[in-house]
Amino acid sequence: MYIKVDGYNIEYKVTGEGDNIAVIIQGWGTKLAVYDSIAKLLSEKFKVITFDLPGFGGSEEPKEPWNIDRYGEFFCHFMQAFSVKRAVLIGHSYGGRIIIKLAGKNDLPFEVDRIVLIDSAGIMPKRSLKQRFNIRKYKILKHIYGARLVEFLFPELVEDWRMRQGSADYRNASPIMRQCMVMAVNEDLTGLLPGISKETLLIWGDKDTATPLSDGRLMESKIKNSGLAVIEGAGHFSFLDKPAVFNSILKSYFGME
């Protein structure tokens, strides 16, 4: 199903019914169907809304690069489109960034009930000397390859170089979404964590290499009313890697057992 928000066609799905609402905000580059198992589980107690952010899955891409704040603004408008006044917010990876940005605000058009962050992004990793050197080299080469004359004379060389830079998510993204991703990963949200007052459950895979467990432990130490549940043997998609353990954690937390 589709709904128009901020002029964009947004694909969404509603699972379950009732007055208690939970909204799942996806990880970078995923599709809403990835979270069907979570939505199905929570539908025993909640009306669950899943959707694709602009530029993800079946939703239209932004016309210009969006930073996290712009995605947060969009999400507020999305909630208003559904007339949501109060909801549990569940964020995986990039979705966690959006929730962290919003959670400390006092002027939201809806009330946050509780928060669940799953292998959440938001902590900028400390860079080693080698990494800083590589970033410096990348910026120099980017300046050279980005010159209009070089790009005009050697377009295939420039494109090949660009495609070998960054992560798979970066390489697979469109030019606009790459800029969105760069803005996101270069913004450290650590300073916002103490401003989160809502009860927060952190769920993490101990084998997560995208957002390591150390990020989860740091979030637990910074967010006042929070607790961390670690899933052994699970990676960045802990809810898919160890579904039985993940489901058990959610059921216990929401009193569904």
The rounded distance, in Å, linking the Cα atoms of 121 and 153 is 39
> Could you read off the pLDDT tens digit of each residue along the chain, which spans 257 residues?
999 999 999 999 999 999 999 999 999 999 999 999 999 999 999 999 999 999 999 999 999 999 999 999 999 999 999 999 999 999 999 999 999 999 999 999 999 999 999 999 999 986 545 544 544 554 554 555 455 555 555 566 545 545 555 567 667 788 999 999 989 999 999 999 999 999 999 999 999 999 999 999 999 999 999 999 999 999 999 999 999 999 999 999 999 97
**pLDDT tens per residue across span 29-40:** 999 999 999 999
| Residue 152 tokens, joined | 């005009």
* Other residues' Cβ atoms within 10 Å of the Cβ of residue 14: 15
* 145 Cα distance to chain centroid: 31
By DSSP bridging, strand 8-15 and strand 47-51 are: antiparallel
The rounded distance, in Å, linking the Cα atoms of 92 and 35 is 9
CB 115 within 8 A of CB 103: yes
Q: Where are the domains of the chain?
A: 2-124+187-253, 129-182
Q: In the chain, where does DSSP find H-type helix?
A: 36-42, 68-81, 94-103, 129-145, 148-153, 155-163, 168-172, 175-185, 213-222, 238-241, 243-253
- The contacts of residue 12 (CB under 8 Å, 6+ apart) are 1, 2, 3, 32, 49, 50, 51, 52
CA 180-181-186 angle, to 5 degrees, is 105
CATH 3.40.50.1820 fits 2-124+187-253, yes or no: yes
**pLDDT tens per residue across span 197-212:** 999 999 999 999 999 9
The rounded distance, in Å, linking the Cα atoms of 75 and 99 is 10
